[in-house]
Amino acid sequence: MAGSYDDRDGMIWMDGALVPWRDANIHILSHAVHYASSVFEGERCYGGRIFKSREHSERLKKSANLIDFEIPYTIDEIEAAKEAVLKANGLTDAYVRAVSWRGAGEDMGVASRRNPVRMAVAAWAWGNYYGDAKMKGAKLDIAKWRRPDPATAPFQAKAAGLYMIATMSKHEAESKGCSDAMMMDYRGYVAEATGANIFFVKDGEVHTPLPDCFLNGLTRQTVIAMLRERQIKVHERHILPGELETFQQCWLTGTAAEVTPVGQIGTYTFEVGALTRGISDAYETLVRS
């Protein structure tokens, strides 16, 4: 599937029914457009099966609750919607995007309790998120924007508003010829990339930032479990920027990113080593098993 995302063939599930892709629209006065009252999930389907599908649906519901609204569909109904979209579009290997938001209604200000909560699910074929970086290692900039203090916003929610600084950071990184940017947290510790968690390797052991102010990704959790099953020591801890020069390998994890090696962050370089390759291959096997 190619072309603009608003001008494609296919079907999208929207508010309980499948509608033609080009008809899946919202009103300009939808609350989410003005106040970012929206949550979403990004999921990958491999060979007709969405990896950790139910966990994604559960997190979608939780994210909505964290930003103070209730999605009017059960987990089973959300699961059925995703399956219906894949079937309607004839997809077995795809990226699946479920999204829920406060729509247009009687309220048009910061408060929006009288506005309906809406939901949609779309799916499309999507290759490597970072292109050929999956093989040779991504190049990352170091973002000037930081992940916020947990007292600022509910960081456990996969909420649209939390990605504004990620978009700004990624745009700046791309202008410098980079694939992405690594972000610090509000204290100055290493946090994550703009849409993926980050891991480092030092002397055969793995170090990854403690997710105490950013999303603890499902892929991140999966990879940590895989490493521990292989008796590889994993340190979840605060990481200072100055430690980057001590690490030998680095990779990113995320549903879209899967497991992507990193070759450079700012002026720091990393090898795409055996541990990185091994966990990437093991993840590919797991999601297709």
Of 52, 139, 158, 170, which is the active-site residue? 158
Intervals of the chain under pLDDT 50: none
- Domains of the chain in start order, with CATH, are 11-124 (3.30.470.10), 133-287 (3.20.10.10)
188: tokens are 């100055």
47: tokens are 């060979």
pLDDT at 83: 98
pTM: predicted TM-score of the whole model, two decimal places: 0.95
Cβ(140)–Cβ(122) below 8 Å: no
| 134 counts as catalytic | no
Q: What is the pLDDT of residues 87-125, one digit of tens each?
A: 999 999 999 999 999 999 999 999 999 999 999 999 999
Q: What is the pLDDT of residues 171-183, one digit of tens each?
A: 999 999 999 999 9
CA–centroid distance for 168 within its chain: 16
Cβ(11)–Cβ(19) below 8 Å: yes
Distance, in Å, from the CA atom of 286 to the CA atom of 289, rounded to the nearest integer, reads: 5
- 218-229 and 274-287 are packed helices; what angle lies between their axes, rounded to 10 degrees? 110
